Structure 1
Amino acid sequence: MSSHEEDIEIAGALRRGLGLNRRQFLAATTGVTAAAAVALTGGTARPAHAAPGPNGVLIPPPRRGIILYTVRDAISRDPNTTPLASGFRKVFEELGRIGYSQIEFAGYRQHANAEGGANLETVEGAKLLRGWLDDNGLRAQGNHGFIPGSWPFTQADLDRFKQHLEMANILGMDHMGTGSDPTSSAYKADWDVAAEKWNALGAIARDAGIKLYTHNHDVAYSFLLDSGPLDAQGRPTRSSGIRRLEYFLTISDPKLVHLEMDIFWAYVAQFKHRTYTAPDGSTQTDVFDPLAVVRPNTMRFPLFHAKDGKSNPATANGYDMVPFGTGDIDYATFLRGVGAKGSHNPMYEQDTAPGGTANPAQSLQFADLSYQNMAALRG
C-alpha cells in the first residue's frame, strides 16, 4: 500500500470512528488537527439536534449562544493597553468560562495587536479561529458575513462568497448568513429579485454543505407595497396586507433559503407596523405576531437572535435593549411555541452592551448575566 493510499485508509477510519460529518471531517483535513476534531465531537458524532433539557429547560446547554457583535468592543480593543480580554482568542476564553457553547461571528476582524493580527478573513485565519474555538469548547454556528450585493453576480463577488463558504466549513458551521435584510425596498418587484438572488446563493451554499440565512430588522416586517394606484415611477402605492419578509418566505425556496429571526426587532415591528393602506384606500389594522410567522415555518428558522427589550412606548421602537432575561419580551412563551424543540439556536445579542470608556468590562458582564438567564429559562 502506498503512503497516499495509507493516508486515505487512515482518514476513512478516522471519520468512521469519530462519526464526523462532512464539515467536521473537512476541517480536520484542511489544517485543524485530528485532536481538535476529537475535542469538537467528544469522540462521538455530534447529534443533528440536541434534545431539550430536563425540568422544562427551554434552551439546552449545547444551544446557548452569543453573536460576537455583542462583545465587539472586547474583540476590537488593543490588548497592549488593557488587562481586559481583547481579541478573538481571549474573548473565546471568557465566553467558554461563562458557559456558552456556541458563537456567531460578526465578521473576522479584531485589533491589529491581538494574536493573529487584524484580518482573519482568510482560509488560514479560519484555521486559527477554529483551533481557538475548539480549545474553549465553543462551536461556530453562523456568521454575519459577506453576501454579494450585485445581481447577476460579478465573478469577484462570487469568488469571495465561495471563500466564505470554505471558511465556514473549516470553522465547522452549519449555517452562514448576513445581518441585513434581503432588500430594503418596500416594493414587490424588488423582493421578487431578492428571492431569485437568494435562491441562487442558497444553491451554491447547499452544494458546499451550508444552510444560507438572512436576518431581519423591524422594517422587513412592515407592509409590502404591491397594489393600488401607481406612482409617477409606475410603482404600487398600497398594500394587500402581506408583510415584506412573509412574502419572501412564500417565494424563496425553503430548501435553499433560511432565516434568523431577530426577536427584538420582530417585536419592534409589532409595535411600529400596525396599519396599512388597503387597495381601496381604507386604513386597515393588523398586529404582527412573530410566533405566528415562525410556527408554520419552524425549520426555516434555525437561528434566533435572543435580544431582549424593556417596554418603552415613549421611544420610536417601543423597547429599549437590555440584557437577556431582564426585559419584557416573553421568551418563555415564544420558545415554547416555535416547535421542533431543541433544534433552534438562540444567540444572545445586545447592540448596546459595550460600556465604552465608562465601563469597558460591561459587554462581557452582560454576556455573563444573559447566559445565566438563558440557563434559568423554563417552559
Structure 2
Amino acid sequence: MTAHEEEIQSAGALRRGLGLNRRQFLAATTGLTAAATVAGMGPLSSAAEAAAKGRGGTLVPPSKRGIILYTVRDAISRDPRSTTLPSGFRAVFEELSRIGFSQVEFAGYGQHANSEGGANLETVEGARLLRGWLDDNGLEAEGNHGFIPGSWPLSAADLDRFKLHLEIANILGFGHVGTGNDPTGSAYKADWDVAADKWNSLGEIASEAGLKLYTHNHDVAYSFLLDSGPLDAQGRPTRSSGIRRLEYFLQITNPEHVWLEMDIFWAHVAQFKYRNYTAPDGSAQTNVFNPLGVVQKQTKRFPLFHAKDGRSNPATGNGYDMVPFGTGDIDYATFFSQMGAKGYHNPMYEQDNAPGGTANPNQSLEFSEVSYDNMAALRAPKH
C-alpha cells in the first residue's frame, strides 16, 4: 500500500469514527471552522488533514463522481418487504449519497412493485417523485439509458414516447439523454449511414428540449467498418478502409446534436480484440485502437464516460475481467489526466457483474463504496 493509499484509508477510518458521511467529513475538514464543526474531538489527525489538502489534486472532483444505477439494479429491484438492505430508488439514493456520490445515471425507471411509488416510474408523476428523492439526497441526475425509437422513419407512437422521455429528463434535471446500445449492430457502411440520419434527427429534437442526445458503445462498435469491395452475393462490401464503425458515425453525425458516452472498459476490449482488417487491396493490415486518442481528437463529443475497470486476462475472449473501479489494470490515471477539457466530463462508475445474488445480496453497494473511494483517490501519474 502506498503512503497516499494509507492516508485515504486512515481518513476513511476517522470519518467513520466520527459518524460522518463523506459530504459531512469533507465539510468538516475544510477551512478554519473545521475544529468547531467537530467540536470536542480535538485536532484533526494528520491523515485527515492530508486527505483534505489533497482534494484539489483529484482527477475526478467530488461534484463529478457518478454511478450508473445499472450497477445496483439488484438493490433497486428487490422487495423491500423481504430485506433490511436498501431497496428501491429512494433507499438506494440515500445509500449512494451516504457513500459520497454526487451524480447518477439512470438505467430505466423500474423498481419493485412494493417500493414507494410502485413498479413503474416512467411517467411525469413518477419523475417528479424521483426528482424529490434526488434533491433530498443531494444527487444530480445526468442521463438515462432509456428509450430510443427503433422505427425509421419515426412512427407517431415512437415519436410521442421519445418526447415523453425528454419531458421526464427535464423534470429530473438531466443534461443528457441516451441509450445503452450502439446506433446499429451492423458492420456495413450503408446501415451506419441510415443510423446517422436517424440520430441527427433525434438529436435535433433533443437539442430543442435543451438536452444532449448520446449513444453508448460496446466493444463491437469499435471494430472495423466494412466499406470496400469486392462485394458479396448480397452486394455488400467485404473489406475495410481501416476506419472503425463508431469513428465513422462521429464523422457523419452533427456535433451540435449527437454526442457519445464512451464505455472505457469496452473500448479497451476493442483494443484487445479488433487489431486486424483486410484492406481494399486484399492485404492484411494491423491497427491497434487507442481509446484515449479518440477522445483527445474531439473531447467535447464525450460528455459522459462509463468508468468501468478491468483486470487483464488474455485467456478470456474480451481480454479483461470486470472488477470494481480502481482494482483493475486500465490506466484511468493517465486517461483522465490527458483527455482534455478539464472539468467537462462526467464519469459514471459501472460494473455489470456487481450484484452478488443470494450469496452476497449487498455486494453491488459494497463494490460501489470501494469504487467511490478509489475514484476519489485517483491522482495524475507522477513523471
Same fold by TM-score, threshold 0.5 exceeded? Answer: yes
What amino acid does structure 2 have at the position aligned with 1:275?
Answer: N
Asked if the contact 1:85–1:94 (Cα under 8 Å) also holds between the matched residues in 2, the reply is: yes
Gaps of 5+ in 2: 1-53
Aligned partner of 1:132 in structure 2 is 133
Aligned partner of 2:287 in structure 1 is 286
Aligned partner of 1:150 in structure 2 is 151
Aligned partner of 1:17 in structure 2 is none
Aligned partner of 1:182 in structure 2 is 183
CA drift at 1:225:
0.0
Aligned partner of 2:359 in structure 1 is 358
Supply the RMSD in Å over aligned alpha carbons: 0.7
Helix, strand or coil: the match of 1:111?
Answer: coil
Aligned partner of 1:251 in structure 2 is 252
Measured against aligned partners, the alpha-carbon deviations of 1:163-193 in whole angstroms (never above 9, x if no partner) come to 0000000000000000000000000000000
What amino acid does structure 2 have at the position aligned with 1:354?
Answer: P
What amino acid does structure 2 have at the position aligned with 1:312?
Answer: N
Aligned partner of 1:164 in structure 2 is 165
User: Where do 1:25-174 residues align within 5 Å?
Assistant: 54-174=55-175
Quick one: distance in 2 between partners of 1:188 and 1:133?
Answer: 42
Measured against aligned partners, the alpha-carbon deviations of 1:103-137 in whole angstroms (never above 9, x if no partner) come to 00000000000000000000000000000000000
Quick one: distance in 2 between partners of 1:123 and 1:153?
Answer: 22
Helix, strand or coil: the match of 1:189?
Answer: helix
CA drift at 1:55:
4.1
Helix, strand or coil: the match of 2:147?
Answer: coil
Quick one: distance in 2 between partners of 1:140 and 1:54?
Answer: 23
Measured against aligned partners, the alpha-carbon deviations of 1:27-69 in whole angstroms (never above 9, x if no partner) come to xxxxxxxxxxxxxxxxxxxxxxxxxx95421000000000000
CA drift at 1:314:
0.2
Aligned partner of 2:202 in structure 1 is 201
Aligned partner of 2:308 in structure 1 is 307
CA drift at 1:269:
0.2
* Number of residues of Structure 1 aligned to a counterpart in Structure 2: 327
Are residues 1:338 and 2:339 paired?
Answer: yes
Gaps of 5+ in 1: 1-52
Quick one: distance in 2 between partners of 1:199 and 1:57?
Answer: 36
CA drift at 1:337:
1.2
What amino acid does structure 2 have at the position aligned with 1:208?
Answer: A
What amino acid does structure 2 have at the position aligned with 1:204?
Answer: I
Measured against aligned partners, the alpha-carbon deviations of 1:229-283 in whole angstroms (never above 9, x if no partner) come to 0001100000000000000000000000000000000000000000001111111
Measured against aligned partners, the alpha-carbon deviations of 1:288-309 in whole angstroms (never above 9, x if no partner) come to 0001110111111000000000
CA drift at 1:151:
0.4
Are residues 1:328 and 2:329 paired?
Answer: yes
Quick one: distance in 2 between partners of 1:120 and 1:76?
Answer: 12
Aligned partner of 1:218 in structure 2 is 219
What amino acid does structure 2 have at the position aligned with 1:226?
Answer: D
Helix, strand or coil: the match of 2:109?
Answer: coil
Quick one: distance in 1 between partners of 2:293 and 2:318?
Answer: 21
Provide the TM-score with structure 1 as the length reference: 0.86
**Percentage identity across paired residues of the two chains:** 80
Quick one: distance in 1 between partners of 2:160 and 2:269?
Answer: 36
Asked if the contact 1:228–1:278 (Cα under 8 Å) also holds between the matched residues in 2, the reply is: no
Asked if the contact 1:55–1:378 (Cα under 8 Å) also holds between the matched residues in 2, the reply is: no
Helix, strand or coil: the match of 2:115?
Answer: coil
Asked if the contact 1:75–1:110 (Cα under 8 Å) also holds between the matched residues in 2, the reply is: yes
